[in-house]
Structure 1
Amino acid sequence: MSTLEITRDGPVATIWMNRPEVHNAFDEALIADLAAACRQLDADDSVRAVVLAGRGKSFSAGADLAWMKRAASYTVEENLADAGALAAMLRTLADMKKPTVARVQGAALGGGTGLTAACDIAIASSTAVFATSEVKFGITPSAISPYVLRAIGPRQALRYFQSAERFDAARARELGLVHEVVAPDALDAKVAEVVASLLQCGPKAQGAAKELIRAVAHQPIGDAVVADTVQRIAHLRATPEAKEGVAAFLEKRAPNW
């Protein structure tokens, strides 16, 4: 993976986008490498949590200019394939069974905002800057829209998808795009703190919690939703992980995960 560096610290894997000379901007190679890395780490049972980060001054400044220039000459079929690869990568990241944490510093523009939103948890440096800037180039933030809309809602998206305004980390937290904003020198400590909390919890339960959110979000609270939640908890209670979690709590010890 020429565009990435993957590091391990015990059960925690960090995917470093490693194109600092272009502020980790997207091109075909970075998109393909990110998708492959997410699949690889999701299939590795020794990995409990995944951090997505960027080397250098920026998290990701969005589309690489050379890639955009190439895409401008694509046929409709080539554009469909190109856009499909980006959409598939974002979905692969968003659908990972294990918790994902975005470590965001500097520019997180366009696709960088999309990556932030596609992760389960986002921790930003106070220096981070965000934008859905696609309309400045005569296009729309289509591929990232499901994840950004999930984070900030349609009302705020109506403003930022059309204005392409840049907004800082404090505003990103107000909008719901990021969970925490810290000083630059505290970013790694805050990410480590959040990851430590994640590691205390049952891995299969965390995957089930992500599925639960997808199933229940924006659904009316009716018989079908209530019945579904009953089925989910009943099946989980019967799993070895749940039995170990309850036993560890009652015996006042750490669970075996």
Structure 2
Amino acid sequence: MGQINLERKDGVALLTVDSVEVKNGLTPEMGRQLADFCEEIDADDSIGAAVVRGAGGTFCSGADRRRWQPGADQAEETTYKEAGQVYGAFMRVGALKVPTIAAVRGAAVGAGINLMLATDLRIVADNARIMSGFLRIGLHPGGGYFTISGRTAGREATAAMGLFSEEIDGRRAQEIGLAWRSLADDEVEDFAMELAKKPAKDPALAREAVRSFRTELGPPGIGWEAALQFERATQMWSQRRRNKS
């Protein structure tokens, strides 16, 4: 059903979303595993940076639709908690004590764009497909999307992608400030690792620096945690009504 893999190399933690049969769609179990690995990373003082990527040349296609229950009661305890495990994983990545980079190849869609936005920096492939995709399939965004997108891409791009379902490639992502660099697909992960190795040389300093960075430049408007809860009820409503039309 998919898994998250954790590797350690030269002081860098490499987190890989591995569910290639569904283009790295996330399950609640993978969300819990991702959060658990974040705990391991934080507890390992030899790690000074982390890179998040997807297996098989795709970053993350969103939630694993095999587990979707559109039209069901989204407030039912198990369903509600399982969705929360995926959202909580994004926040846990965003709260890692080390600087984080998303190495984005292929698609970053829906929940996948939230995972990408959870990191401190993004390196993307020129031909990457990046879109929120929620309204396109009849769902309200979740995971605090507007807050975490707005802090990086700004209001205009967040409106275009979140409200009007615009899709962008890696080059456009760099142009609008959603990514630091757009590169050929086969260069993305190596470049992300090379960047990550720089702060990883001094893990203690890297952890202090990223704490200051996020405290001073964190999400605007309401906090991320509040945004996640603020969006939750409306997304549940949109999931329930999706199969009733």
TM-score (normalizing by structure 2): 0.80
Counterpart of 1:34, as a letter, is L
Alignment of 1:176-191 (within 5 A): 176-191=177-192
Matched, 1:166 2:158: no
Tell me how far apart the structure 2 counterparts of residues 138 and 214 of structure 1 sit (CA, whole Å).
33
Alignment of 1:38-49 (within 5 A): 38-49=38-49
CA contact (8 A) 2:12 2:197 kept: no
Tell me how far apart the structure 2 counterparts of residues 215 and 63 of structure 1 sit (CA, whole Å).
29
Matched, 1:74 2:67: no
Q: Give the C-alpha shift of residue 130 in structure 1.
A: 0.3
Distance 1:27 1:173, change over 3 A: same
Tell me how far apart the structure 2 counterparts of residues 131 and 101 of structure 1 sit (CA, whole Å).
18
Tell me how far apart the structure 1 counterparts of residues 151 and 216 of structure 2 sit (CA, whole Å).
13
Distance 1:11 1:172, change over 3 A: same
TM-score (normalizing by structure 1): 0.77
CA contact (8 A) 2:26 2:86 kept: no
Counterpart of 1:113, as a letter, is I
Q: How many residues get paired?
A: 217
Tell me how far apart the structure 2 counterparts of residues 143 and 75 of structure 1 sit (CA, whole Å).
15
Alignment of 1:86-125 (within 5 A): 86-125=86-125
Which segments of structure 1 move beyond 4 Å, counting only runs of 4 or more? none
Task: Give structure 1 stretches of 5+ with no counterpart.
Answer: 220-257
Higher relative contact order (CA 8 A, sep 6+): 2
Distance 1:161 1:203, change over 3 A: same
Q: Give the C-alpha shift of residue 183 in structure 1.
A: 0.8
Tell me how far apart the structure 1 counterparts of residues 91 and 138 of structure 2 sit (CA, whole Å).
24
% of aligned pairs identical?
Answer: 27
CA contact (8 A) 2:104 2:125 kept: yes
Q: Give the C-alpha shift of residue 144 in structure 1.
A: 4.2
Tell me how far apart the structure 2 counterparts of residues 10 and 57 of structure 1 sit (CA, whole Å).
23
User: Residue 216 of structure 2 corresponds to which residue in structure 1?
Assistant: 216
User: Residue 197 of structure 2 corresponds to which residue in structure 1?
Assistant: 196
Instruction: Please tell me whether Structure 1 or Structure 2 has the larger radius of gyration of its CA atoms.
Output: 1
Any idea what the Cα deviations from partners look like across 1:163-183, whole Å, max 9, x if unmatched? 222110011112222111111
Mean CA deviation greater in 169-178 or 16-25: 169-178
Tell me how far apart the structure 1 counterparts of residues 217 and 193 of structure 2 sit (CA, whole Å).
28
Mean CA deviation greater in 82-91 or 166-175: 82-91
